[in-house]
Amino acid sequence: MSVISPAVDATQNSGNPPSVKTFGPSNPFYAPSTLPFEAPPFDRIKDEDFQPAIEAGMAQQEAEIEGIANNPEAPTFENTIVAIEKSGQLLERVMAVFSAITSANTNPDLQHLQTIEAPKLAAHDDFIYLNSKLFSRIATVYQQRASLQLDGESLRLVERYYEKFVHAGAELSETDKSELKKLNEEASTLSTAFSNKLLAADKEAAYLTTERAALAGLPEARVSAATQAAKSRKTEGFVIPLQNTTQQPDLVYLSNRATRQAIFERSWNRAERRDANDTRDIVARLAQLRAQKAKLLGFPNFAAWKIKDQMARTPEAALQFMDAIVPAATARAAREGQDNEAVIDSQHGGFQLQPWDWKYYSEQVRKARYNLDEAQIKEYFELDNVLQNGVFYAATQLYGITFKERHDLPTYEPEVRVFEVFDAGGKHLALFYCDYFKRDNKRGGAWMTAFVEQSRLRNHLPVVSNVLNVPKPAEGEPALVSFTDVITIFHEFGHALHGMFSEAEYPLLAGTSTARDFVEFPSQFNEHWALYPSIFANYAKHYQTGAPMPEDLATRIRKAETFNKGYDMTELLAAAELDMQWHLLAPSTPLLKPDEFEAQALEKTHLKISYVPPRYRTTYFNHIWSGDDYAAGYYAYLWTQMLADDAYQWFIDNGGLTRANGDRFRHMILSRGNTQDLGKAYEAWRGAPPSTKAMLKYRGLDESAFSK
């Protein structure tokens, strides 16, 4: 085993910043795209177009903001709030594409550019949110809001702007504001450095072997993929690239325990190898900076500041919610661990269950209990079929929308596909892009992004994209995916629907621009349809024969759904608690040693369990360090599981998959974005506040699941 050479490939550029050109009509971002839906003109966009467009975009918005702030007329809703909503269109146009490309298709030049622009963009945000003249106009409109006779969405817009500005520090003294700006700039620089180091660390920590025997148990298709991965890195043998999570998918197959351990350890230690990609110093400093920022803004810790405008409102509410699930989840994981140990003992393994053994033995328990064979199952999940006859089909049944692939629109990679989405009456609704295969220049995980955010004010229909990291099949092989990948495709499409159904007037409130602990609700809710009988039957078909999945196998997959849920829930809780503990630090906390702190944090929250490591470790927890969107917000995945399961239960109790149910959900939840109070909207739709009852049932954690 040897170390893969670092991130810069011979085939890529050397990492020089793109030369700064002047900004003019030849720049593809200069004017709105003339393509349908104002789709990005990827065929015209070159790396060197980004920087001039970003810089011009910032300058343009700064001029617009100055104009609003210095307007001699008295502040009104139109000349202040709506004017802000209309500002920054060039910047938004370029940043939507820039963020998408630097996540899904990056290169050293673009990474370098990110490093240059990140602190400038942070300063740009501060220019807006810490602008006292602008804030005083917003505050005036806010104070008059009751007498302005605004419609509900406009009223919410005023409130959101006021709260956002206060949240960002608009009420601080000038001295504190400049201190805050410094903290924001340093944090943003560190976050970019974190992402770039992690991408390199992920790549470098790939497992490499020249011994075919080390891969015993790995299916042929995976072996060819490993050979291909080695070839593309111009190295001999076999390469297994790392996924972003602690656990690695191929550990399910690998019978060689030393290989499993080696892969696991490469994953676990990927970003703390005392080399250029070690992220520990960055993490320690970021945690400190965030705590200091919270203090400046008048909060005891970063989590309290961050969660204030979320559905949970306080860290205590989020902690209470998690603490209440920990005993059931860990007890269930312990039982699953015993099942795994029983298999080890029955095979005279003579060792104790370790995290690198978990997937391998739990797969055997699963096979014995449900007689499920991953390789056999995959034959029924061919990617395109899953997409069109599963994901799209479900959306057609529920919401009446239809899809047509378009080959005339440019993409940033040939393997990206584009579909036009039509509403029930045939009306143009949206464009949907999908970029499903793993590439070395794509960050790990799966996500949804918008190239164009819906807004009636701007006359914009949504253009959204889903990005995944499905293992790419070897040349000429079909793309057969795991059931986990099927669920991920449904999940990301749930986000896409949230974006595509948006009917907001104002971009600030459109689509997925909701609280963190709400935004994963539509996506996790959409996962449920993957197993809904009439939908499953429509896509789970053999890739060669087209034969439906045998009923018996389908039943066993359904039954197996609650299998290993103790582990799944515990690893999520561990990551979520880790995130929360890092962001509950007092401002006076000295620089911490991430490994020690991590161990203590897990201990304290009763989640230090040797065989269930956190889903992400501190040093590669991209969600919380690559920006602060998910910082003190990872709990949101669990919180929204509660909402998703509770919502699905409503469908089941009310006739299941029907257009009427779908339309009601679309109308009251999905199309509303952030235009209404999320808690109240949920209650109005559900007829009750959310409860964890359905979650415990669907996740196999309730009493009845325990007794079986």
Contact partners, residue 456, CB within 8 Å, separation at least 6: 503, 504, 505
Closest by Cα among 260, 509, 482, 519 to 372: 482
Distance of closest approach, residue 512 Cβ to Zn ion, in angstroms: 9
Identity of the residue, 523 or 675, whose beta carbon is nearer to Zn ion in the bound complex: 523
Identity of the residue, 272 or 520, whose beta carbon is nearer to Zn ion in the bound complex: 520
Q: Quick one: which segment of 212-220, 267-275, 523-531, 694-702 binds Zn ion (CB under 5 A)?
A: 523-531
**For the CA atoms of the chain, what is the radius of gyration?**
25
Q: Quick one: which segment of 180-188, 245-253, 375-383, 516-524 binds Zn ion (CB under 5 A)?
A: 516-524
Identity of the residue, 451 or 634, whose beta carbon is nearer to Zn ion in the bound complex: 634
Q: Do 553 and 609 form a contact (C-beta atoms < 8 A)? A: no
Total residues in contact with Zn ion, by rule CB under 5 A: 2
Question: What's phi and psi for 283, nearest 5 deg?
Answer: -60, -45
Identity of the residue, 172 or 486, whose beta carbon is nearer to Zn ion in the bound complex: 486
**Cα separations (Å) of 67 from 62, 70, 87?**
9, 5, 10
Distance of closest approach, residue 632 Cβ to Zn ion, in angstroms: 17
> Would you list the DSSP string of 280-335?
HHHHHHHHHHHHHHHHHTT-SSHHHHHHTTSSS-SHHHHHHHHHHHHHHHHHHHHH
Question: What's phi and psi for 482, nearest 5 deg?
Answer: -75, 165
Alpha helices in 130-217 (DSSP H): 132-144, 152-168, 174-204
Identity of the residue, 91 or 496, whose beta carbon is nearer to Zn ion in the bound complex: 496
**Cα separations (Å) of 102 from 73, 113, 412, 496?**
42, 10, 11, 20
Which residues are bridge partners to 452 per DSSP? 463
Q: Binding to Zn ion (CB under 5 A): which residues in 530-569? A: none
Q: Quick one: which segment of 13-21, 98-106, 522-530, 691-699 binds Zn ion (CB under 5 A)?
A: 522-530
* Residue labelled with tokens 């009751």: 146
Identity of the residue, 106 or 449, whose beta carbon is nearer to Zn ion in the bound complex: 449
Give the single-character DSSP code of 555: H
Instruction: Mark whether 453 is an active-site residue.
Output: no
* Residue labelled with tokens 């802000």: 84
Question: What's phi and psi for 478, nearest 5 deg?
Answer: -75, 155
Closest by Cα among 624, 640, 652, 665 to 244: 624
Distance of closest approach, residue 311 Cβ to Zn ion, in angstroms: 16
Residue whose Cβ sits closest to Zn ion: 523
Identity of the residue, 104 or 289, whose beta carbon is nearer to Zn ion in the bound complex: 104
Q: Which of 61, 523, 570, 626 binds Zn ion (CB under 5 A)?
A: 523
Binding mask 69-98 for Zn ion (x = CB under 5 A): ------------------------------
Beta pairing class for 428-437 and 463-470: parallel
3-class secondary structure, 467: strand
Alpha carbon 590 to its chain's center? 31
Distance of closest approach, residue 62 Cβ to Zn ion, in angstroms: 33
Distance of closest approach, residue 494 Cβ to Zn ion, in angstroms: 8
Tokens describing residue 218: 């790995």
Binding mask 113-142 for Zn ion (x = CB under 5 A): ------------------------------
Q: Binding to Zn ion (CB under 5 A): which residues in 283-342? A: none
Distance of closest approach, residue 641 Cβ to Zn ion, in angstroms: 11
Q: Per the residue annotation, which of 204, 382, 492, 527 is the catalytic one?
A: 492
Q: Quick one: which segment of 519-527, 597-605, 643-651, 694-702 binds Zn ion (CB under 5 A)?
A: 519-527
Distance of closest approach, residue 326 Cβ to Zn ion, in angstroms: 23
Closest by Cα among 334, 267, 330, 319 to 634: 319
Q: Quick one: which segment of 18-26, 254-262, 517-525, 620-628 binds Zn ion (CB under 5 A)?
A: 517-525
Q: Does 188 bind Zn ion (CB under 5 A)?
A: no
Identity of the residue, 205 or 446, whose beta carbon is nearer to Zn ion in the bound complex: 446
> What percent helix, strand, coil does the chain show, rounded to 5?
55, 5, 35
Distance of closest approach, residue 446 Cβ to Zn ion, in angstroms: 7
Identity of the residue, 208 or 434, whose beta carbon is nearer to Zn ion in the bound complex: 434
Q: Do 457 and 506 form a contact (C-beta atoms < 8 A)? A: yes
Identity of the residue, 267 or 641, whose beta carbon is nearer to Zn ion in the bound complex: 641
Distance of closest approach, residue 96 Cβ to Zn ion, in angstroms: 18
Separation CA 102–CA 646 (nearest Å): 36
Distance of closest approach, residue 448 Cβ to Zn ion, in angstroms: 7
**Cα separations (Å) of 230 from 209, 211, 217, 411?**
9, 13, 19, 27
Summarize as ranges the residues that interact with Zn ion (CB under 5 A): 520, 523
Residues belonging to the active site: 492
